[in-house]
Amino acid sequence: MALPLRALGRSDVRVSPVGLGCWQFSQRRGWNKYWPKLHPAEIEGIIAASLDGGVNWFDTAEAYGGGESEKELSRVLQKAGRKPGELIVATKWMPVFRTARSLTRTIDERLACLAPYTIDLHQIHNPASFSSTRAQMEAMAGLVASGKIRSVGVSNFGAARMRESHRILADKGLPLVSNQVSYSLINRRIEQNGVLEAARELGITIIAYSPLSQGVLSGRFHDDPARVKVLAGPRKYRGFYRRSALEKTRPVIEALKEIGDRRRATPAQVALNWLFSFHGESVVVIPGATKTAQAAANAAAMSFVLTRDELDHLDRVSRAAQKTQSK
């Protein structure tokens, strides 16, 4: 079965509940040492598996290898014979040590890296710009007016800044369509800090990055904690890989496995399905993948529908684990 596409916020941009995060296509360029360098054929396999599984959108960024991820995405989509307009491309402007003028100055570089594909969603990567939120939103509105981008989103914005961005764009007749934030069954901070509440109130889609907490919700590190040691780059030092943290989240993995056994699905697929289902259509997810099989499995999370009882059970187990983690 194929789940229907969803609108990004109050826009005409329609995406599958699962997209593909493309940070891992940075090829270790610049400061991006977080992921291993991928063979071009593996990148092609990852994107092909995503497309075959019903994924219709891809999220990349200027910061991902200084445009390397954007270029790889364009190369592979062209090789796959996908024409502009057949799928949705999202990218992000890096604001660190820059002002809003950089948005206008760098947009042609973003378009060149992604060519011949256009930018359906352009996002402020984080709130660390030297410019005010107003200046950034006014620059974004100018890019929409000039036809350079189709819609505006933000990333890592708190509730107050997200509300401000929405208000400024609304005054110009534009919606803020999304806020891309870290969100998973074992990282539910946006439910406590007002971000999710504000997004739902304003009709802004939450784009959940790290929806599997970088593989933790697959259960493989709970089954074999020694696997943490072979992770590439600084990733292995994240707190949720510690043995104590794995023990605290083990009940979540056990619940995912239980439901997955009934659904003939993996724990990761159940975790993704919970995330894009529990809040209706207001959340979409962008898991990454460094292997073709991972991408195929992520897309297959859209092949079943969890019952309300299953969704609520995972919610309860997750909340209990969160309380344990906070002690």
For 31, 186, 288, the CA distances from 234, given in Å and listed in that order, are 12, 20, 17
Amino acid at 140: M
For 25, 66, 75, 92, 94, the CA distances from 33, given in Å and listed in that order, are 11, 12, 22, 19, 17
209 is catalytic: no
For 43, 46, 200, the CA distances from 289, given in Å and listed in that order, are 9, 7, 28
Question: Using the 8-state DSSP alphabet, how is residue 23 labeled?
Answer: G
- d(C-alpha 108, C-alpha 125), whole Å: 17
CB 55 within 8 Å of CB 19 = yes
Beta carbons within 10 angstroms of residue 306's beta carbon: 18
Assigned token pair, 34: 């977080």
Torsion angles phi and psi, residue 73, rounded to 5 = -60, -45
Question: Which listed residue (64, 117, 209, 241) is catalytic?
Answer: 64
Burial of 66 (C-beta count, 10 Å sphere; 0-12/13-18/19+): middle
Secondary structure (DSSP) of 95-154: -TT--THHHHHHHHHHHHHHTTS-BSEEEE--S--SS-HHHHHHHHHHHHHTTSBS-EEE
- Residues noted as catalytic: 64
